[in-house]
Structure formats: C-alpha cells, structure tokens
C-alpha cells in the first residue's frame, strides 16, 4: 500500500506518495487558501483523491500541520495559521475521506523524516527546527516522536529569546500568541524581514537579504549576523536542556547555508559544556522533509 503524506504549510500544501521502501511515486503542491478553513479542507482532500486516482490505489494518509491536537478537545491549538485553531481538523478530514488518518505537528514530521532516513538517520536524540513562516520544533528519541504530556514537546518558538540584549528586552515584538518577544518573532522569516526593514527602510525577503550580503551589502550582513547570534542563543537553550545529537533545520530559512557554518561557532558561548558534539545540519530532503515525515507516521504507531 502507498503512503500519502501532506504538509499543510502557511503558503503551500504539499503531498507526497511513497512506496514501502520510501521511494517517491508522486509529488504535488498547491497554494494554501489564506484564512479559509473550509477551503483548506477541500484543497487537502482534492490533492489526496486526485493522487489516488492517478496512482489507481488508496493509501494511508498522514498530515503535518501547524500547531497540535489539544488533548482536551481533539481540536487544533497553537497554530500560527490561526484559521485552524479550535477546528476539528482530524475529524473533518476523516469524515470527508471516509477513513482514519494520522496527524502530527509539522516540526515533529520534519524531525521524524530526518531521523528515519535523512540527515539524522541513526541518531538517538534529534531536534527538528522549522524556521519559515513561523518557528516550530519537534523531538524524536530513538525513532519515536516525543509528544509530551501536554502535546507541546519541542515548542521552543514560544519561549522568550534567551540572553536578550537590552534593546531586545525593552522593545519586544508582538507575537500572534498574545505575548511579546517570543523566539518566533525574532527567528521567523517575517522576523528577519522586519529587522532588515527597521534598519534600511526597504522590504526584502530572507533570500534577497542573503544574496545581498554575499555581494557585500553591509546592512544585510549586519542583519544576518544578528540573526545568527539569536539563533545560536536559542539553540543553545535547547542543547542545555535536551542535549540532542543532531539539530536539523527545516523551513525556508534552512536554505541559508551560512547558518551551518556560523551558528555552531557562536552557540559555544552559551552552551554549558566544555565540549559540544551536537551537529547542526540541513535537511537531506530540503523543504519536502516534513511531508515525508507525515507519510512515515504510519510506520510508528
């Protein structure tokens, strides 16, 4: 039987079909309807049903989504795609598809994918990071997702930025969760773009900022160096608590290759150890790693 994985992102919905060996049979993407829950359900179901029609067989379905299922209500909580919050996403999709599905936080899916057959394959403790539209995290220990007693394991993005500088402490940005100065507000793609705009008055996306820095633009370079310091501080907090073997970056900002060189050089200033063996690595499967993890959900439960 084929395994279908769906990654419900802030800007795109991606589907992948895998065979039993993990080989890709088919991949499809479509834009995520913005702020429209019913349209999002329709888009997910159409991707699944069109794929099964094309492959002429039905598959298991795993969904990676922002936020998590509330253990109290079974509805989505903590999603930065706020139209999902309070919605019975799993139940609605099961009703529309007329079968059971498995649903996990998107960062958990990233971590599972990379721990299963990706950049962290074989590692005992893996922390998967999503730095893109939002900032999420997932934990895999010995090949199994750690969900936690409150279904929030790995949610580092809604802790305060550690070891804050004075200006970070006195002027924290607002977070959609209702608090101020969450790690997500600093390390997400919109956070990086905001920092550049506050200095230059111009609107650049992270890819443009990285390109300009590589061409010698000093403002872009300074903004990226500050971003790297914030990422190093935030990941050092994780290392001090979880002590993972491997940290895998995912999301759009994981494509900034300089992070893998510069951040480990800086986190040594904050990690409470004389030697740091934790590796910081890019995802083997790029921005499709999360969708592979969603497909692999049927391997672990």
Q: Does domain 121-282 have CATH number 3.30.70.1280?
A: no
Instruction: Render pLDDT for 174-213 as a digit per residue (tens, 0 to 9).
Output: 998 999 999 999 999 999 999 999 999 999 999 999 999 9
| Tokens, residue 227 | 């971003």
Nearest to 3 by CA among 28, 14, 13, 20: 20
Instruction: Render pLDDT for 131-153 as a digit per residue (tens, 0 to 9).
Output: 988 899 999 999 999 999 999 99
**pLDDT value at 301 more than 70:** no
**pLDDT value at 295 more than 90:** yes
| Tokens, residue 119 | 């950049």
The CATH homologous superfamily for domain 3-109+287-300 is ATPase, nucleotide binding domain (3.30.420.40)
Predicted pLDDT at 289: 87
Instruction: Render pLDDT for 246-265 as a digit per residue (tens, 0 to 9).
Output: 999 998 899 999 999 999 99
**pLDDT value at 243 more than 90:** yes
Task: Give this prediction's pTM.
Answer: 0.89
| Tokens, residue 225 | 């160096």
| Rounded-to-integer distance, Cα 113 and Cα 292, Å | 6
**pLDDT value at 270 more than 90:** yes
**pLDDT value at 69 more than 80:** yes
| Rounded-to-integer distance, Cα 146 and Cα 262, Å | 29
Ranges in the chain annotated CATH 3.30.420.40:
3-109+287-300, 121-282
| Rounded-to-integer distance, Cα 37 and Cα 83, Å | 6
Lowest mean pLDDT among 19-23, 85-89, 188-192: 19-23
Question: Are the C-beta atoms of residues 100 and 229 closer than 8 Å to each other?
Answer: no
Mean pLDDT of 76-93: 94
| Residue 176 half-sphere exposure toward CB, CA atoms < 13 A | 17
Question: Are the C-beta atoms of residues 64 and 11 closer than 8 Å to each other?
Answer: no
Predicted pLDDT at 300: 55
Mean pLDDT of 93-116: 95
For 217, counting Cβ atoms within 10 Å of its Cβ (0-12 exposed, 13-18 middle, 19+ buried), the class is middle
């Amino acid at each position: 039987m084929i395994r279908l994985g769906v990654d419900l992102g802030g800007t795109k919905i991606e589907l992948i079909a895998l065979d039993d060996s993990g080989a890709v049979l088919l991949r499809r993407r479509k834009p995520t309807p913005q702020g429209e829950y019913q349209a999002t359900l329709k888009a997910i179901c159409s991707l699944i049903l069109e794929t099964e029609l094309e492959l002429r067989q039905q598959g298991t379905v795993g969904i990676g989504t922002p936020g998590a299922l509330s253990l109290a209500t079974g509805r989505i909580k903590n999603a930065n795609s706020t139209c999902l919050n309070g919605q019975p996403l799993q139940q609605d999709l099961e009703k529309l598809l007329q079968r059971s599905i498995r649903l996990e936080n998107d960062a958990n899916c990233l971590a599972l994918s990379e721990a299963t057959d990706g950049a962290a394959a074989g590692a005992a403790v893996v922390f998967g990071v999503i730095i893109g539209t939002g900032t999420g995290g997932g934990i895999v220990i010995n090949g199994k997702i750690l969900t936690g007693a409150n279904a929030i394991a790995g949610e580092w993005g809604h802790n305060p930025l550690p070891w804050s500088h004075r200006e970070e402490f006195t002027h924290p940005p607002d977070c959609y969760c209702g608090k101020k100065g969450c790690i997500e507000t600093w390390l997400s793609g919109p956070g990086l773009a905001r920092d550049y705009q506050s200095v230059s008055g111009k609107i650049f996306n992270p890819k443009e900022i990285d390109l300009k820095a590589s061409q010698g633009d000093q403002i872009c370079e300074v903004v990226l160096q500050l971003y790297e310091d914030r990422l190093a501080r935030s990941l050092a907090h994780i290392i001090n608590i979880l002590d993972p073997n491997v940290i895998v970056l995912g999301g759009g900002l994981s494509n900034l290759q300089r992070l893998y060189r510069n951040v480990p050089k800086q986190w040594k200033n904050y990690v409470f150890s004389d030697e740091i063996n934790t590796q910081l690595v890019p995802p083997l499967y790029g921005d499709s790693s999360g969708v592979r993890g969603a497909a692999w959900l049927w391997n672990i439960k």
